[in-house]
Structure 1
Amino acid sequence: MNKNNYIKIKIKKKNFKQESSENILSEINKYFDENELFLKKNNDNDILIYLNSFDINKFESFFNEKPEYFQVIKQKINKNKSYGIDNGKKIYIDYNKERKVKNRKKKETARGKYYYAKDNNFKKQNNKLTEEKINQIVCADSLEYLKTIPDNSIDLIFTSPPYNFGLDYEATDDSIKWQQYLDQLFAIFDECIRVLKYGGRFAVNIQPLFSDYIPLHHIVGKYFIDKKMIWKTEILWEKNNYNCKYTAWGSWKSPSSPYFKYTWEFVEVYCKGDIKKTGKKENIDITADEFKEWVYSKWSIAPERNMKEYDHPAMFPEELARRILKLFSYQEDIILDPFGGVGTVAAVAKKENRKYISIDISEEYTKKARERVKKVPKQLKLNLE
């Protein structure tokens, strides 16, 4: 048996009684040809399912006649969505081989990947930040304070700028002319790019304003491309807030001007100079399970539930920040949030053994951020080696 000709699915032994598992193996291996699928046990008595391809009608007919304890196998197989269908068969191996690219690396080079960022003039020499700047929650105009931070000294920037949707921020006018908003935002982003290390990452949580027909994620994306930053990924943050209210329906039951509802926001991630970020292996703290789940760039995370507690109209949840920090930075890296609000990024940075700088113009938000972060206990360094 060549195991490369199968995909493998494991079911823990706790899902079966000993006698039922033996019966399942015997019945399935007798009914299906080994070239279709077969079952075996590992040393821990878990059941391993090996899938190649099978006739769908044959599969359904078999399980429809079997007792309940067989259905765990069927359900587990049906949960796997990576397959093709050809002539009534589910095919799990090489079902998309016609789409595989030969000589991929050579062709990538020929096409010129991230060609738009090749002629950047970023300095490669990174600099250390002085201790008095680190682990600070600062009440200041972000544009002015960023000018006091040296070039190439920040590892990761994660932020969510004011939306300009008309929300009631404590010290920010959230309903100014769009061009004025973008000019102010990009002036701050210019400074952020300057202070970001070569190889550092810039992640921005952004949301388009459908009512104004402003595709803000695209406008921000064009800004980064024009600045020669390398696009790393776009994460779809699915908030699942289906109960949100909409008062503008556009045209009801008409193609005249339908108004679209949305339950998601975007996180756009860009790199400065290089898509790879250097760091010490012992400072990696993302687990295998976290990595496998989070590199699928649609994240289902509930919205922040404590906005009333902090009296802030637009907080993102700590889980969103935790994933960004663990995917794109190492322990002991310096994390910057130039729109720090009530300190979500700073609090998560401290919890995940990162250093932080959080800047916000609001005295009230800064006070709450300091109180919040002060309550976070100092974390021990996590070593996954």
Structure 2
Amino acid sequence: HYYANDNNFSKINTELPPEYENKIICADSLQFLKKLPDNCIDIIFTSPPYNFGLEYDTHNDTAMWNDYFNMLFGIFLECIRVLKYGGRFVVNVQPLYSDYIPIHHIISNFFIQNKMIWKGEIIWEKNNYNCKYSSWGSWKSPSSPYLKYTWEFVEVYCKGDLKKQGKKENIDITDEEFKSWVVAKWSIAPERNMREFGHPAMFPENLVERVLKLFSYKNDIVMDPFNGAGTTTVVAKKAGRRYLGIDISEEYCTTAEKRIYDSELGQQSFLK
């Protein structure tokens, strides 16, 4: 890891303040993260908003890209700071082919420049989901055809060390899951309940479950700084992890809390 050898990461891990454990926080992520101590989060899994392109007129936001990446990387720098030594930072990102901005490469360059170790890349195959779009670019011509992506990327980075410390009894991945999931192409249908939860770009629960079981231990602290409708936090709860979800939207935070409450009711009825 020649690009990460001269990092200045402290190897002394701390604990998340108990008042933030298993909480959904409605706040600006950058401002809230500054309240947290260094090295207190085991794993971060998130999908950053795509320049708010799903919420705003794309004709007006081209000039926002510099501001967008400055905002995003400011939050990511705080995330790296609060991540434990040996912790994992997992980012789900889609290439923005319509704007010809290879966002996954830009994000990877940021992490490498900030001395994070690239552990690998998972291809999340969405079963031809994006092929429903009818735009072809230059039809039947090499002039300027559009390439259609049926997958997204899941990029995995480590802070300071590829190996993560944990107790053997807190491993909850099965033999079959491990053998299947280390093959870095996952075929998972996209989330079908986005309208129900009022969110335009949710990832499915099975994607989060695989990431958490493969890259974290039970009782680890999972954080999502763009928690949205709360898929990361609800799956963390179901998987026996502690969680911290942050989102600026009160509506999304309410949805995330309700999903956790509903999942607890479901688990209680299942146990009966």
TM surpasses 0.5: yes
For structure 1, the residue ranges without an aligned partner over 5 or more in a row are 1-113, 381-385
The residue identity in structure 1 corresponding to 2:80 is I
1:244 positional shift = 3.9
| Partner of residue 233, structure 2 | 346
List structure 1 runs of 4+ shifted beyond 4 angstroms. 173-176
Q: 2:88–2:157: 8 Å Cα contact kept in structure 1?
A: yes
Q: 1:347–1:376: 8 Å Cα contact kept in structure 2?
A: yes
Q: Distance in 2 between matches of 1:292 and 1:191?
A: 34
The residue identity in structure 2 corresponding to 1:308 is R
| Partner of residue 146, structure 1 | 33
SS state at 1:377 partner: helix
The residue identity in structure 2 corresponding to 1:358 is G
| Partner of residue 142, structure 2 | 255
Q: 2:130–2:149: 8 Å Cα contact kept in structure 1?
A: no
- Indicate whether 1:264 and 2:151 are aligned: yes
- Indicate whether 1:277 and 2:153 are aligned: no
- Indicate whether 1:236 and 2:123 are aligned: yes
SS state at 2:132 partner: coil
| Partner of residue 177, structure 1 | 64
Map Cα deviations across residues 190-214 of structure 1 (whole Å, 9 max, x no partner): 0000000000000000011111110
Larger RCO (CA under 8 A, 6+ residues apart):
2
SS state at 1:211 partner: coil
Cα 1:316–1:242 shift into 2, 3 Å: closer
Structure index of larger Rg: 1
- Indicate whether 1:188 and 2:53 are aligned: no
Question: What's the C-alpha RMSD, in Å, of the aligned pairs?
Answer: 1.8
The residue identity in structure 2 corresponding to 1:116 is Y
Q: 1:157–1:335: 8 Å Cα contact kept in structure 2?
A: yes
Cα 1:259–1:347 shift into 2, 3 Å: same
For structure 2, the residue ranges without an aligned partner over 5 or more in a row are none
Map Cα deviations across residues 330-365 of structure 1 (whole Å, 9 max, x no partner): 000000000000110000000000000000000000
1:377 positional shift = 2.4
- Indicate whether 1:127 and 2:38 are aligned: no
1:165 positional shift = 5.9
SS state at 1:204 partner: strand
| Partner of residue 55, structure 2 | 168
The residue identity in structure 1 corresponding to 2:70 is D
1:302 positional shift = 0.2
| Partner of residue 99, structure 2 | 212
Map Cα deviations across residues 276-298 of structure 1 (whole Å, 9 max, x no partner): 00001100000000000000000
Q: Distance in 1 between matches of 2:130 and 2:230?
A: 27
Q: Distance in 1 between matches of 2:191 and 2:176?
A: 24
Q: Distance in 1 between matches of 2:62 and 2:170?
A: 42
The residue identity in structure 1 corresponding to 2:161 is D
Aligned residues: 264
Describe how 1:111-126 pairs up with structure 2 within 5 A. 114-126=1-13
SS state at 1:213 partner: coil
The residue identity in structure 2 corresponding to 1:252 is W
- Indicate whether 1:227 and 2:114 are aligned: yes
- Indicate whether 1:365 and 2:236 are aligned: no
